[in-house]
Copies of this chain bind each other. A is one copy, B any other.
Amino acid sequence: MKKLINDKERFLSDMLDGLKQRDPHIEIIEDTVVVRKEKKSSGVALVSGGGSGHEPAHAGYVSQGMLDGAVCGEVFTSPTPDKVLAAIKAVDNGDGVLLIIKNYSGDVMNFEMAQEMAEAEGHHVASVVVRDDVAIDNEEQRRGVAGTVVVHKYAGYLAEQGASLDDIVKKVKEMMSTLYSIGMAIHPCLVPTTGEYGFDLAEDEMEIGIGIHGEKGISREKSASVDKIVNRLLDELFKHTDSSRLIVMVNGMGATPESELSIVTKYVMEALDDRGITVSKLLVGDYMTALDMQGFSLTILDEDDEVLEALDADTGSKYFK
């Protein structure tokens, strides 16, 4: 298998060992829970997580200004409730804990079970479920994808500002009501645990509306030039908004080279300009990936002064740039 790994059974633990070497400000508890080495003494603590394979999400965002803890499951596998509970207990300083959950049935079930267990032990816990992927028609079933990282940053900023748990939940929900993403791939990801590609694509095909777990998309199409792909994705996104001032994220899927992310960005900005959209903030990079998938996703949300402040605020994470 073409992977830089030692043993597929140790993918997660080896990765976390390496991450700890890369970031001296984190530590790992209970084998798979990443927390800040210096626990915050006050303010709402934020916990996210889910299956691995989306790096730098979520462990790379455990940092001043963003998350307090990330619960890491095996590749594309939800972490168990006991690990989420351990994270809650480790980060709670008495001001409450917010769980930021991507909308996958396993994650929702396990995080909410942990929430109940923590509440039974006297912790004040709330949760929000991110459903930004408009590739899925049914709103309740929409998956949480790259927009989740914007939620991390906004909630992290609000927590630093001393907002209460209730306030953060209210504001994040409001923000999420305008948060929409959709992705595409020209190469599927190779899943280390199975040695299989998530799907197969012919040399002249691309997949529109992919998930971040190697799931097929909603439409297999003939390869196209970037301007056409960008407009194809924007057409989907603009079914859900008529805002003219947007925050925009161009997210690499893990193995998309920097050069191509820049080329995508050029055509995104041109296409938005053609549509009369003002982009008040542009984020470009690998924020939420699917292992070594080649492709990108676009995320949009309504311009908002406080969200803009949050996105520009300092963070210790090297991955939010």
Residue positions of A touching B, CB distance < 8 A: 2-7, 11, 14-19, 21-22, 52-53, 55-56, 60, 186-187, 203, 223, 225-227, 229, 254-267, 269, 282, 284-286, 289, 291-292, 294-296, 318, 321
Given contacts A14-B262, A21-B266, A56-B258, 11 further A-B contacts (CB under 8 A): A4-B256, A4-B263, A11-B259, A14-B226, A17-B262, A17-B266, A18-B269, A19-B262, A53-B259, A254-B258, A255-B257
> Given A21-B266, A258-B254, A266-B18, does the pair A2, B55 have CB atoms closer than 8 Å?
no
- Which residue from chain B places its CB closest to the CB of A266 in the assembled complex? B18
Is there contact, CB below 8 Å, between B55 and A18? no
The answer, among B7, B53, B256, B262, for a CB contact under 8 Å with A15, is: B262
- Do the beta carbons of A225 and B7 come within 8 Å of each other? yes
The answer on a CB contact under 8 Å between A257 and B18 is no
The answer to whether A289 and B258 have CB atoms under 8 Å apart is yes
Residues of B within 8 A of A6 (CB): 225-227, 263, 267
Question: B186 and A259: CB pair below 8 A?
Answer: no
Can you list 5 A-B contacts (CB < 8 A)? A6-B263, A17-B262, A256-B292, A257-B292, A321-B321
Closest residue of chain B to A201, judged by CB? B2
- Give the 4 A-B CB pairs with smallest separation, nearest first: A18-B262, A55-B258, A18-B266, A255-B255
Nearest B residue (CB) for A10? B263
With a cutoff of 8 Å between Cβ atoms, the chain B residues found around residue A286 in the complex are 258
Expressed in whole angstroms, the Cα–Cα distance for A5 and B186 within the complex equals 11
Q: Which of B18, B223, B256, B267 contacts A255 (CB 8 A)?
A: B256
Q: Would B282 and A11 count as touching, CB distance under 8 A?
A: no
CB distance from A48 to the nearest CB of B (A): 16
- Tell me the smallest distance from the CB of A56 to a CB of chain B, in Å: 5
Assembly CA distance A99 to B230 (angstroms): 38
